[in-house]
Structure formats: C-alpha cells, structure tokens
Amino acid sequence: MRRSYISPEFESREVYGTYNMVEESNFFGAKMLEIEDSILVGNQDIIYYQMPNGEQLDLSVENALPSYVYSSSIDKQKNHILSLDPVQTEYTRENLTTWNIDINLKGILANYVFAELKRYRTFEGIRTNMNYYNDVNAAINNYINYNVIDRYKISGIDLYVYYKELSTKSLLRYANTWNPNIMAPSNRLGKFRSEMSEDGAYTKITFSQERPSSLYAYEYFFNISFEKL
C-alpha cells in the first residue's frame, strides 16, 4: 500500500460530554433535564453545599464547609426597580400616586433554577476541567439559559401593599420599602396592570396607591409564578 503523505486537516480528540451544554434532541430522545410543572418564587430560602470553586463532589466533605443560601426575597429585591410613573398628571402624583415596578423575570427564574439544581446536586461529579468554561457554576448557568428558561412562561404575579402613615412612623414621602413579612390576604392588591417585553424577559407592573401619598407611604412585596410550556 502506498502512502499518500497527505497530512490530515483535522484532528479528532475525545472530550467530556459536558463541554457542550446545549441539549440536542434526536430520534432516540435526549437527556433533557426533567423540570417542575410550576414554580413559585415567593419568600423561600434554598440551602446547598459545594466546594469553594463550585464543584459538588462529596456531600460528606462539603457539609463541613459553610453553606450557600439563595434567598428568593433578596433576589427579587435586586432584580426589580420601583419608580414613579413618568406619564401621570401632577394631580395624580400628589394624591393617589401611580407607580411602576420593572421586574427582571429571566434573571429571577435563572437564579432560582440554579439554586434548585445545586440543592438537588444535579451536576454532582462535574469538575472544573470537565467543561468549556473551566467554571462549574458558569457551565450550569449556561445550561439553564440554553435549555430551561425558554421552557417556562410567567403565569401570575401576586402584589402585596401595606400602607403606613407618614405622621406616626417618621417616614419620608415616596420612601416605600421592600418587606416580605406583609404577605397576607388583606394586603394583596387586586388592581394593577402589567406589560410584558417582546422576549418575555421583563415585565412592568403599574398600580396606583389606594391611599394619598401625602399621608401614607407603603411597604410592598410580590410573588411570581411560572408554568412549564
């Protein structure tokens, strides 16, 4: 047999399957992650254990390390902006003031799912050198963005508002505060409208105070529900 002396243009190397975090379906099925039919991001904390570099290899060892806590309340607080509605009239602003809440739905959902995957140790055994990013947490976040986020849609928001008199509480006007402890049926606000962004990543809630802003400030909180498509 004669040798061609032609060098190959490509070189084949074996790599870990976790280098590709995009799930691809085929005729025989896929290893797609099984997800919950519905998710409620309320006021729960999710506790999990891992190595400082994000690896989850041995729970008996990791239990001796400080735990990691995901707070859904803190996450929602960081991923929303409360602001005065810029298109309201001066009369409305001075009385039953209208407010906007811009919520980063995609960010909240991704963070919640990440914490759940960590809690159930879904990627246990994956090491830093076994993914394209050389970072286990970055790999998991990319897995969520590629395969999970688009499988959910928002199904509802519960908004809670609790009014406090300015004169008796030494509060500042328009200085409204986030408080997860006000969740009660009597504080649930039924009248508000919402507007979704085209990609579904953000929503804007608009509501009016039911008591004059010249006399009352308020505490507020909201829960978000998602359902599987």
Is residue 15 a contact partner of residue 87, using CB atoms and an 8 Å limit? Answer: no
Q: Where are the beta strands (DSSP E) in the chain?
A: 38-41, 45-48, 68-71, 80-84, 98-104, 152-165, 177-178, 188-189, 193-196, 202-208, 216-228
Residue 13: pLDDT over 70: no
The maximal CA–CA distance of the chain, rounded, in angstroms, is 98
* Residue 85 pLDDT exceeds 60: yes
Query: Cα 142 to the chain's mean position, in Å?
Result: 14
Q: Which amino acid is at 94?
A: E
| 90 Cβ contact partners less than 8 Å away, ≥ 6 residues apart | none
How much of the chain exceeds pLDDT 70, in percent? 86
Q: Does the pLDDT of residue 48 top 70, yes or no?
A: yes
Q: Which residue is it, tokens 């996450």?
A: 75
Q: What is the mean pLDDT of the chain?
A: 90
What pTM was computed for the model?
Answer: 0.88
Please tell me which residue, 170 or 36, carries the higher pLDDT value.
Answer: 36
Which residue type occupies 199? D
CB 134 within 8 A of CB 117: no
Instruction: Quick: pLDDT tens for 143-155.
Output: 999 999 999 999 9
- Tens digit of each residue's pLDDT (9 = 90 or more) over 116-144: 999 999 999 999 988 888 999 999 999 99
Check residue 169 and give its pLDDT: 67
171 band by pLDDT with thresholds 50, 70 and 90: confident
> Which pLDDT does position 151 carry in this prediction?
92
Please give the pLDDT value at position 7.
60
